[in-house]
Amino acid sequence: MLFDKLIALSSIFMGFSFLITSGPLFGEMVATRSPTFSSRAARSIPIFDIPFKQVSFPTSDGLTLRGWFFPGNNPSAPAILYAPATHHDQRQGLSLVAPLHKAGFQVLLFSYRGHGNSDGSRIGFTYGARESQDIDAAVSYLSETLGIQQIGAIGHSAGAVSIILSAARNPRIGAVVAAGTFTSVEDVWEKNRPAIFPEPLYRVAMRMFELRKGFSRNEVRPLDFIGQIAPRPILLVHGASDQRISIEQVTSLYDQANQPKQLVVLPGASHDQVRSPGLDSIIDQIIRFFNASLQNL
């Protein structure tokens, strides 16, 4: 009888431990899965009357990324690429196209591997590790295929992280606008850890994320790399009411970055609102930033 009770208690404990451990795994898989991208969306942008081209280009590991390129009247005019946040594709950058294009910039919107119409697994998002390599591929496409030498980049959340990681090793990115970025993937996981999940088990879950997706958290530490972007300028944008990424994280990033650098804190803006309406509301400032930054290249 006692043995049966011990077996029952052990089973309950193991079941509870499994739920505690697998809960974050399932939640993370849902939160980072790429959104549905229809064939119609791949063919058209109904809200714009700006000419665009469907484009594709390869990554260094043999995948094909796809997106939309909005050319300017001057084919050698500076280009701005947009890097989407987690659970977003190239459509997240659409509201920025018209003002940037009107200001004389060419614009590239593309989707990471596994997102939009690009190749790759839909559940393989790596918080900037592989996505920063996709930024590298986009920059190579702009510079080597299209011959554009002045390139700026805008990113939100993990997209901002991806740009920082790419720009740190890629001098062809001449200026960076990073909105709602975090110091490291470990910090953002910890900031968003539900109180119900004990820290030791949550760390086990984090390790399982890495193994399942084939990356290391040490690859996603923009705090360690942001200082390498200078002397190219960086503009950090953050929401004063961001509950996902603390203001202390962006302050640490700003302190670690070298000049020239700027920090804009948007009053009352949540993490999502930093992107929209946040970046849209300061687009004139962003355009001035790129004009001043890229003309010196």
Tens of pLDDT, residues 133-175: 999 999 999 999 999 999 999 999 999 999 999 999 999 999 9
Average pLDDT, integer, range 111-123: 93
How much is the mean pLDDT over the chain? 87
In this prediction, residue 44 carries a pLDDT of 55
Positive or negative CA dihedral for 239, 244, 248, 249?
Answer: negative
Q: What is the Cα–Cα distance from 94 to 279, expressed in whole angstroms?
A: 12
Count of other CB atoms within 10 angstroms of residue 223: 18
Q: What is the Cα–Cα distance from 283 to 77, expressed in whole angstroms?
A: 19
Question: Residue 287 contacts by C-beta under 8 Å, 6 or more apart in sequence?
Answer: 99, 100, 103, 105
Per mean pLDDT, which range of 5-19, 28-42, 164-178 is the poorest? 5-19
Average pLDDT, integer, range 117-145: 95
Question: Residue 117 contacts by C-beta under 8 Å, 6 or more apart in sequence?
Answer: 37, 42, 66, 111
Average pLDDT, integer, range 249-257: 98
Q: What is the Cα–Cα distance from 255 to 59, expressed in whole angstroms?
A: 32
Helices 129-140 & 158-169 angle (0-180, nearest 10): 60
Domains of the chain: 33-184+220-294 (3.40.50.1820)
Q: For residue 15, name the pLDDT band (cuts at 50, 70, 90).
A: very low
Q: What is the Cα–Cα distance from 279 to 218, expressed in whole angstroms?
A: 29
Q: What percent of the chain has pLDDT over 70?
A: 81
Closest CA relative to residue 238, chosen from 270, 281, 276: 270
pLDDT digits (tens, 9 = 90+) for 165-200: 999 999 999 999 999 999 998 888 777 766 666 677
Residue 70 corresponds to which amino acid?
F
In this prediction, residue 289 carries a pLDDT of 98
Question: Residue 278 contacts by C-beta under 8 Å, 6 or more apart in sequence?
Answer: 179, 237, 239, 266, 269
Q: Does residue 70 carry a pLDDT above 60?
A: yes
Q: For residue 5, name the pLDDT band (cuts at 50, 70, 90).
A: very low
Average pLDDT, integer, range 125-138: 96
pLDDT digits (tens, 9 = 90+) for 272-282: 999 999 999 99
